[in-house]
Structure 1
Amino acid sequence: MTCSDSSLHQVVFLDAGTLPSGLPFAPAQRALIDYRAHDTTAPSEVAERVADACIVIVNKVKLGEAEMAAAPSLRRICVSAAGTDNIDLQAAAARQISVFNVPDYGSEAVAEHAIATLFALRRQLLSYAAAARDGRWSQSPAFCWHGPEIRNLSGSLLGVVGRGRIGQATARMAQALGMRVVFAQRDGRVPAADEWPLEALLAQADAVSLHLPLTPQTRGLMNAERLARMKPDAVLINTGRGAVVDAQALADALRGGRLAGAAIDVLDVEPPPPGHPLLATDVPGLLLTPHVAWASREAQARLASRLVDLVVDGLAALTPPTP
């Protein structure tokens, strides 16, 4: 079965600009496809761009019933990310369109980012780097400059909320640094020995790291009430999904000194509008990065390679065997 009248199978990457490394198709593979890579695609442009595609690659572009209906030849969707929340899976199943994501390409990269930001927060690296350059160190009467309190990671308690690949990778790295680690209990399962109820974890952890998918149950999980349960000298890290954290509540907690710091790599709206609560310049203790925890060179290469494999496998399934 072919997916179009053309001799070449059309493969479309709707937001290829999200993967700067590009897709490493071999020359023989490129000879089999009409590959069209668009840096970005607005919702109004999706239908036209997928009209003749048999394989569509997306990162964050939404594909729902209407978009799939505009693509009668579509047989496979490849999501260049760990999640599939931008795809209407029911609509895909009804149209016999297979959906594949890449869940394991960046587990170590994201875990390293979580630990790196934890170091930065606990050791006040940004504050001390600023003091070294703005004259405060030069004016110090001693050999060093004393500012915000520095805390060790070793011996502290890390609470990990989300026990998937990334949460477990983060826990392994933290334990290697001498941290004690507990996980939040998972609904519907008998708790393991190292799992605590979420409320107890929040109340006792020195740092909390979120590694959750976005679901109706996790949206707004870290609201004002739960943030208030954390110790005032604790820090929060989120490399999961932005909407898991109530951004305004977090900004208020940091301004009010009810939380020592937060490292946030994901926001509820991306890219964020100028007036987003966590873009304000008066939020103390906030280390904000633009959704780059996943983006190490090694992780990008694994993701690109896996996407090529998914496309090639999809083409094999679509091409009739030679008699």
Structure 2
Amino acid sequence: MHHVVFLERDSLKVKVRRPGFEHTYEEHARTNDDQVVPHLQNATVAIINKVGLSEETLAQLPKLKMVAIAATGYDRIDIAACRKRGVAVANIRNYAIHTVPEHVFAMVLALRRNLLAYRQEIEQGAWQKSEQFCLFTHSISELFGATMGIVGEGAIGRGTAAIARGFGMRVLFAYHASSKKKDVVLTPFDQVLAESDILSLHCPLTPATRDMIGINELRRMKRSALLINTARGGLVNESALVRALDENLIAGAGFDVLTTEPPTNGNPLLDLHRPNFILTPHVAWAAAEAMQFLVDQLIDNIEAWVAGKPQNLVT
């Protein structure tokens, strides 16, 4: 009989059905790194979200046979160690193809139309003192005809591209270290940096993509450009971004992710109190509809593996 253990139940705010095979079940609201081994001591199936599984940890869990990730990213799991030990790892696919692109454009529209700056001026009484019916204190730019550069040609990147095209934008997919798709026309990374009015990141965090946007890349971008990151913290050097905004190297940025989450020890982006920067707490994925799709697929992945027909494996 399988023993299923969910390490981070509070990371999902929707109903999670129990697997449809004979099993025992245990869940924990959250799990710290030093609790992983005790919590999984008797588990054959582990459900995790952001908890890490290193080779050292896996060596202490001889009963573990399957890891079901309640997310798409698996950068905190030692996949090579899982393969060596015969531990199957499955992730979630295509659950955020609407919610993340929508979040991207919520940020883009707010920044391109300077909504935060205008709201701030109204709160300070500027409109009330205006000599005419409107204020022209901040620039407003249309999306129609602008260029959207996208790093990451997976389902979310393509969903972002579809919305961009709906606005009448030109879309460029950038060639980058993790590019795999062969059915998308890819443009050299430096060209995408130079031509994009908006650059949106949708690629995984790997050793090759870590700090893929640093001060040199930011200098290659248009001074009128926006940088949006709803993918992974660590893709952008955060200190370099602060410098770029301070020096007006780019026009603004919208981030939903940080290098360390939660940022209990601080982060330079937390101190950016300015109308051309938006920071949200890793919620682009968290629409109720997307989350329910995620948890349904999560249990589907476990049931498929138990039935001998595994799906969505990354091992």
The TM-score, its normalising length taken from structure 2, stands at 0.91
Give the secondary structure class of the aligned counterpart of 1:35: strand
Unaligned runs of 5+ in 2: 310-315
Contact 1:124 1:149 in 2 (8 A): yes
Name the counterpart of 1:137: 127
Mapping of residues 241-260 of structure 1, within 5 Å: 241-260=232-251
Contact 1:12 1:35 in 2 (8 A): yes
Name the counterpart of 2:312: none
Root mean square deviation, CA, Å:
2.2
Partners of 1:268 and 1:296 in 2: CA distance = 22
| Alignment CA distance shift 1:309-1:63 (3 Å) | same
1:269-308, CA deviations, whole angstroms, 9 ceiling, x for partnerless residues?
1112453111114455111111111111111000011112
Letter in 2 for 1:92: C
* Match for residue 227 of structure 1 among 218, 239, 249: 218
Name the counterpart of 2:313: none
Letter in 2 for 1:10: H
Partners of 2:107 and 2:192 in 1: CA distance = 20
Name the counterpart of 2:252: 261
Name the counterpart of 1:321: none
Partners of 1:314 and 1:215 in 2: CA distance = 26
Give the secondary structure class of the aligned counterpart of 2:173: strand
Give the secondary structure class of the aligned counterpart of 2:128: coil
* Match for residue 127 of structure 1 among 104, 113, 117: 117
Partners of 1:243 and 1:281 in 2: CA distance = 17
Mapping of residues 39-78 of structure 1, within 5 Å: 39-78=29-68
Name the counterpart of 2:14: 21
Contact 2:153 2:184 in 1 (8 A): no
Tell me whether 269-278 or 158-167 shows the greater mean CA deviation.
269-278
Mapping of residues 65-104 of structure 1, within 5 Å: 65-104=55-94
Partners of 2:209 and 2:293 in 1: CA distance = 28
Mapping of residues 100-111 of structure 1, within 5 Å: 100-111=90-101
| Alignment CA distance shift 1:52-1:189 (3 Å) | closer
Matched, 1:153 2:146: no
1:86-122, CA deviations, whole angstroms, 9 ceiling, x for partnerless residues?
1111221222211100021112211111122111110
Tell me whether 103-112 or 65-74 shows the greater mean CA deviation.
65-74
Tell me whether 36-45 or 180-189 shows the greater mean CA deviation.
180-189
Give the secondary structure class of the aligned counterpart of 2:254: strand
* Match for residue 173 of structure 1 among 163, 170, 176: 163
Name the counterpart of 1:11: 4
1:8-43, CA deviations, whole angstroms, 9 ceiling, x for partnerless residues?
x321111122112141338xx4x8332222121111
Partners of 1:167 and 1:254 in 2: CA distance = 25
Matched, 1:278 2:235: no
Partners of 1:206 and 1:303 in 2: CA distance = 32
| Alignment CA distance shift 1:193-1:312 (3 Å) | closer
Partners of 1:40 and 1:190 in 2: CA distance = 36
1:186 CA drift (Å): 4.6
Partners of 1:76 and 1:191 in 2: CA distance = 30
1:236 CA drift (Å): 0.4
* Match for residue 197 of structure 1 among 184, 188, 198: 188
- RCO higher in structure (CA 8 A, sep ≥6): 2
| Alignment CA distance shift 1:194-1:53 (3 Å) | closer
1:141-163, CA deviations, whole angstroms, 9 ceiling, x for partnerless residues?
22222221000011111111111
Tell me whether 210-219 or 87-96 shows the greater mean CA deviation.
87-96
Tell me whether 305-314 or 104-113 shows the greater mean CA deviation.
305-314
Name the counterpart of 2:230: 239
| Alignment CA distance shift 1:166-1:126 (3 Å) | same
* Match for residue 33 of structure 1 among 16, 20, 23: 23
Matched, 1:213 2:204: yes
Letter in 2 for 1:296: A
Give the secondary structure class of the aligned counterpart of 1:170: helix
1:192 CA drift (Å): 8.0
Which structure has the bigger radius of gyration? 1
1:139 CA drift (Å): 1.8
The TM-score, its normalising length taken from structure 1, stands at 0.89
Letter in 2 for 1:72: P
Contact 1:50 1:70 in 2 (8 A): no
Name the counterpart of 1:307: 298
| Alignment CA distance shift 1:115-1:284 (3 Å) | closer
* Match for residue 298 of structure 1 among 271, 289, 292: 289
| Alignment CA distance shift 1:160-1:271 (3 Å) | same
Letter in 2 for 1:18: S
